[in-house]
């Protein structure tokens, strides 16, 4: 174990005795990118336009022509990437280091800096070039910087490859789960049952004893949810909003104290209640294929209303609660909402698009059997996904720890002679 000393910087901690700590500006030039109007963007441009959080368009010109570290300074403060031959906007900062500071070593160092602590913005996070310039990093010899950067390149590539493989497996499991659900809610569990036409072009056939009805004949639809405001003189309520539904697709919603607090008139509150069996669906999205995420209300929600950008369906016919979740979360239903969405920059499904949706409905006893089957199968798939996700999280934590240990000298990387 080589001798260590206190760096005097909290996030760095101890460093090897031969190392220094220096400000980035001692070995680098920091400059801002340049403003560019959205009107200047061109289709199929030669150069990428890079903002605080990555590519946002294309252009016919560039303002950097050599490899540089780009740091987000507005919004996505501290986002990091290495870019070359592109246009960097004024929402990002450009680091041009001199020959005594290795670019890749600096890149790994910056990944450990808490840039949000520099935030000077109010409406959104903001960092200045001066703050970045005065950021202190560990500073070993150039040969050690090169060795550390090379070592981390190799190790991080292996970790990233393993993570990507696990993510691929997760996506395959999710796809299998969705196909299993769609198959069960449209064809049932008996492979030998006699089939009939469904009347839905992307569903070949359904069991002969099943019904197909428009959603408007099965219950009540309401898209007039509450906003997120609190008005003086109105009663306070909790509200389930878009993100609550989007993040709970193919799940259920119960009473919770963490929902957003809003206010509403008595009349509005009475029209926006959430009762057991209600289904909430998202009715807008940035892309058509992301439309119609749904969740089922599994108990009467106390003093809780639904928000805008949602459609509430309240059944008037008997539908098994667990089956309801799988039915509205199935690919065939999502496909319907994608097909009937309209828009340019943001897409939506009209009230008619929802009310005329064709719903495949088996007899109640079959709904129960299908739901029980899917509960068991989906539980197995979800457990497999959770195992893969935990592995990804462990690998990400290991990668972060490895980088920190190396750039602060706590893990010694041998320098090739």
Q: Which helix (H) or strand (E) element contains residue 72?
A: strand 68-72
Residue 49 and residue 86 in contact, taking contact as beta carbons nearer than 8 Å: yes
Per-residue pLDDT, 3? 94
Among 111-120, 143-152, 312-321, which stretch is predicted with the lowest mean pLDDT? Answer: 111-120
**In the predicted model, what is the mean pLDDT of residues 151-162?**
97
- Please count the other Cβ atoms lying within 10 Å of the Cβ belonging to residue 391: 15
Distance CA 245, CA 291 (A): 12
Does domain 211-361 fall under CATH 3.90.220.20? My reply is: yes
**In the predicted model, what is the mean pLDDT of residues 19-34?**
95
What's this model's pTM, rounded to 2 decimal places? Answer: 0.84
The token pair that represents 163 in the structure block: 């993570």
Q: Which CATH architecture describes the domain 4-139?
A: Alpha-Beta Complex (3.90)
Q: Which helix (H) or strand (E) element contains residue 181?
A: helix 142-187
User: What is the distance, to the nearest Å, from the Cα of residue 111 to the centroid of all Cα atoms in its chain?
Assistant: 20
pLDDT in tens, 37-92: 988 898 888 999 999 989 999 999 999 999 999 999 998 899 999 999 999 999 99
Residue count of the chain = 417
Distance CA 187, CA 179 (A): 12
Query: What's the whole-number average pLDDT of the chain?
Result: 94
Distance CA 87, CA 55 (A): 10
The residue ranges of every structural domain in the chain are: 4-139, 211-361
**In the predicted model, what is the mean pLDDT of residues 227-255?**
92
pLDDT in tens, 386-395: 999 999 999 9
The bridge status of strand 310-315 relative to strand 279-282 is antiparallel
Same fold, 4-139 and 211-361: yes
């Amino acid at each position: 174990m080589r001798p260590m000393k206190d760096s005097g910087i909290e996030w760095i901690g101890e460093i090897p005795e031969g190392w220094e700590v220096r400000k980035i500006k001692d070995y680098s030039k920091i400059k801002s990118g340049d403003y560019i109007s959205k009107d200047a963007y061109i289709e199929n441009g030669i150069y990428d336009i890079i903002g605080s959080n990555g590519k946002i368009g294309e252009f016919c010109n560039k303002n950097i022509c050599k490899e540089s570290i780009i740091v987000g300074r507005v919004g996505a403060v501290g986002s990091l990437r290495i870019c070359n031959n592109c246009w960097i906007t004024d929402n990002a900062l450009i680091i041009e280091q001199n020959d005594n500071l290795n670019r890749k070593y600096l890149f790994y160092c910056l990944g450990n800096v808490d840039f949000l602590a520099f935030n000077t913005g109010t409406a959104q996070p903001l960092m200045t070039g001066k703050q970045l310039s005065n950021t202190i990093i560990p500073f070993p010899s150039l040969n050690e910087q090169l060795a550390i950067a090379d070592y981390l390149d190799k190790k991080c590539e292996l970790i990233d490859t393993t993570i990507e493989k696990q993510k691929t497996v997760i996506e395959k499991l999710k796809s299998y789960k969705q196909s299993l659900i769609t198959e069960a809610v449209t064809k049932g569990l008996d492979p030998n049952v006699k089939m009939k036409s469904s009347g839905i072009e992307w569903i070949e056939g359904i069991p002969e004893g099943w019904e197909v009805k428009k959603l408007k004949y099965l219950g009540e639809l309401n898209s007039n949810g509450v906003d997120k405001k609190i008005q003086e003189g109105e009663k306070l309520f909790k509200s389930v909003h878009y993100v609550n539904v989007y993040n709970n697709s193919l799940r259920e919603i119960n009473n919770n104290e963490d929902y957003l607090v809003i206010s509403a008139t008595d009349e509005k509150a009475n029209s926006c209640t959430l009762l057991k069996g209600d289904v909430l669906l998202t009715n807008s999205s940035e892309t058509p294929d992301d439309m119609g995420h749904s969740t089922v209300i599994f108990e009467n929600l106390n003093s809780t209303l639904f928000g805008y950008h949602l459609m509430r369906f309240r059944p008037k016919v008997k539908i098994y609660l667990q089956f309801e979740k799988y039915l509205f979360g199935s690919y065939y239903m999502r496909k319907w909402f994608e097909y009937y969405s309209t828009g340019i920059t943001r897409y939506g499904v009209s009230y008619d698009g929802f009310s005329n949706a064709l719903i495949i409905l088996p007899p109640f006893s079959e709904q129960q059997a299908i739901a029980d089957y899917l509960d068991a199968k989906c539980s197995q798939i979800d457990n497999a996904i959770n195992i893969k996700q935990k592995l990804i999280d462990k690998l990400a934590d290991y990668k972060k720890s490895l980088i920190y240990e190396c750039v602060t000298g706590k893990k010694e990387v041998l320098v090739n002679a």
